Structure 1
Amino acid sequence: MMTLQKKATVVSSSVAALLTIMKLVIGIASGSVAVLASAIDSVLDMFVSLFNYFAISNSEKPADKEFNYGRGKIEALASVIEGTIITISGLFLLYQAIKKAINGEISQYMGTSITVMIISLIITISLVIYLNKVAKKTNSMVIKADALHYKTDVYSNVAVLTSLVLVHLTGYEIIDVLVGSGIALYIIYSSYELIHDGVLVLLDRAVEHDIVEKIEDIIKSKEKVNTHHLLKTREAGHQTFVEVHLVFDCIITLMDAHRVSDKIEQEIEDLDKNRDWIINIHMDPYDDFTINDSK
């Protein structure tokens, strides 16, 4: 059965393929650097979405003897690669804009180009709405990255459409060059967040501070837990890992300590039903943190 994440990548790949054909034909025929820039971006969108499908397919595989913690980090790796590809595409588009300005090229088929960009804008907005809904339900980093990517496409499509209309009305080709350059710079800027977030996940950054505080509040609310230490959190794809040492009275039964730990685990999982929580609780009969810390 195809998961919601996989379905989203199939949809985005199909849409990117459609937009690529539309924009590439018109971009080459018209000579508009803005339309061509948008077309090249759609080509990259298609390949990135296909790569995302591969990443999600692998990240959803269960843990095994070779990958004891699963393959969730491949989503973060995909995010870094996607951000890098976006950066490269932005640099290429900037080159195309400068080249047109130097050679003084003239745009053609403006009416058809405007129509194509209007259709493209409507399709892209619809896709962004869909991907945002999937990202909210699944908490998938790859889908979030895909949604952000296509959101930048919405802005670039609006800019391209505006430039086409202005060039058509005024005949000033410099508008096309400036808009194409602006889109290129914005694409490069937008890729930073994808690379930044992906690298932090690969480095095992802790989850959001407010979630860590809520986990600590849950632990502190249990009277039978004297204290806790070595609380660690990290994320990998749709999975959130939590490790903590709980300190109980040495006279408590193992059964009672286990019941309290189970209750804590359940309350942590209830913090966010969209996350796949992997919780590991170590039960101590006394506070050995200072002893271990001094070694």
Structure 2
Amino acid sequence: MAAAQPLDPGQRQRLLTLATYASVGVALLLIVLKASVWMMSGSVSLLASLIDSLMDAGASIINLLAIRVALKPADRGHRFGHGKAEALAGLAQSAFITGSAVLVLLQGIKRLADPEPLDAAWLGVGVMLFSIAATICLLLLQRHVVKRTQSTAIRADALHYRSDLLMNASIILALILAYYGVARADSIFGIGIAIYIGYGAITIGLTAMQILMDHELPDEVRSNALRLAREVPGVIGVHDLRTRESGQHWFMQVHVELPGDLSLNEAHELGENVRKAIQSGYPQAEVLVHKDPV
């Protein structure tokens, strides 16, 4: 949750658009390759990876649409902006990933009871090695974009692609074992991958729900914001800090205790100093300061 350097709207839009289009492009390329090899091999593990890529493409398209909405400036009907569209995209990703996990799990159980020999196993290994290389390149781009924009949608997308690395490596092992006669290895790995995907879906869904329900920012952020406010000269005390997150924006409300004999102008100036002190540490935060006389 480290603060990102402020970006102008144009820079942010270009970075988010680049990340989403790259995600869609990688997913579509892998879909074509995996579908071709799966039809030749019949591997459950490869089917799991194919379905996962289909879900990646769907989720990335949802991300693209959601980010376009989230980038819209605040308007009369949405005074706090449209940032929660990113959390909605994360929730949609969770649903997509859960569906793929259930489908792969059922197929793995079916094939475990009735194992079948695999064809074109080494071609499948080649496709998975290419998938790993493409995924690593995409993750490097997403990491840069998340660091600059703090996008919830891109962060959720990157979480899923990180899990793909482990999944792809396990599929390579499953294909090799199945090729050398371990008949049920492909099914067992497919079931394990389905469970792992399901765990990732729960993680993404819970994160998105916390944002949609205006969950407080992390304790270390809150503690540091209070410290920054207390360090402003003239502030007697600070209390009742409330925080929430909406896309790349944070919202903070805080009560500061000031001497009761200050003039209105002096109290206002001190309140502005508190706001600027907090924003110096968290430039993505919109801070509202309430002054209480002591």
Partner of 2:229: 219
Match of 1:136 among 147, 156, 161: 147
The reply to whether residue 253 of structure 1 matches residue 270 of structure 2 is: no
Unaligned regions of 5+ residues in structure 1, if any?
A: 287-295
- Partners of 1:124 and 1:99 in 2: how far apart? 29
The reply to whether residue 182 of structure 1 matches residue 192 of structure 2 is: yes
Task: Give 1:101 deviation, angstroms.
Answer: 2.3
- Partners of 2:21 and 2:276 in 1: how far apart? 34
Q: Equivalences for 1:31-42 in 2 at 5 Å? A: 31-42=42-53
Partner of 2:62: 51
Match of 1:75 among 65, 74, 86: 86
The reply to whether residue 157 of structure 1 matches residue 165 of structure 2 is: no
Match of 2:211 among 182, 197, 201: 201
- Partners of 2:291 and 2:72 in 1: how far apart? 30
The reply to whether residue 278 of structure 1 matches residue 289 of structure 2 is: no
Partner of 2:243: 233
Deviations 1:8-55 (A, max 9, x none): 011101110001111111112210111111011001100100100111
Task: Give 1:160 deviation, angstroms.
Answer: 0.4
TM value normalised by structure 1? 0.92
Contact 2:229 2:277 in 1 (8 A): no
Partner of 2:23: 12
Match of 1:101 among 85, 108, 112: 112
- Partners of 1:232 and 1:8 in 2: how far apart? 32
- Partners of 1:19 and 1:131 in 2: how far apart? 18
Contact 1:28 1:36 in 2 (8 A): no
2:291 alignment partner AA: M
Q: Equivalences for 1:165-180 in 2 at 5 Å? A: 165-168=176-179, 170-180=180-190
Task: Give 1:259 deviation, angstroms.
Answer: 2.6
Partner of 1:266: 276
DSSP-derived class of the 1:230 partner: strand
- Partners of 1:47 and 1:191 in 2: how far apart? 14
Deviations 1:106-164 (A, max 9, x none): 21111211111111111112211221221122111111100001011111100001111
- Partners of 1:229 and 1:40 in 2: how far apart? 50
Match of 2:131 among 87, 98, 120: 120
Task: Give 1:7 deviation, angstroms.
Answer: 1.4
2:258 alignment partner AA: F
Contact 1:24 1:40 in 2 (8 A): no
- Partners of 1:249 and 1:136 in 2: how far apart? 40
Contact 1:37 1:93 in 2 (8 A): yes
Partner of 1:291: none
- Partners of 2:23 and 2:38 in 1: how far apart? 21
Report the count of equivalent residues. Answer: 283
Amino-acid identity (%): 33
Contact 1:248 1:257 in 2 (8 A): yes
Runs of 4+ in 1 over 4 A off after TM superposition: none
Match of 1:86 among 75, 97, 100: 97
Task: Give 1:261 deviation, angstroms.
Answer: 2.2
TM value normalised by structure 2? 0.92
Task: After superposing the two structures, state which structure 1 stretch, 209-218 or 103-112, moved more.
Answer: 103-112
Task: Give 1:228 deviation, angstroms.
Answer: 2.8
Aligned CA-pair RMSD: 1.4
Task: Give 1:221 deviation, angstroms.
Answer: 1.4
Task: Give 1:191 deviation, angstroms.
Answer: 1.3
Deviations 1:212-266 (A, max 9, x none): 1111111211241222332110001111000112222222123332332222222
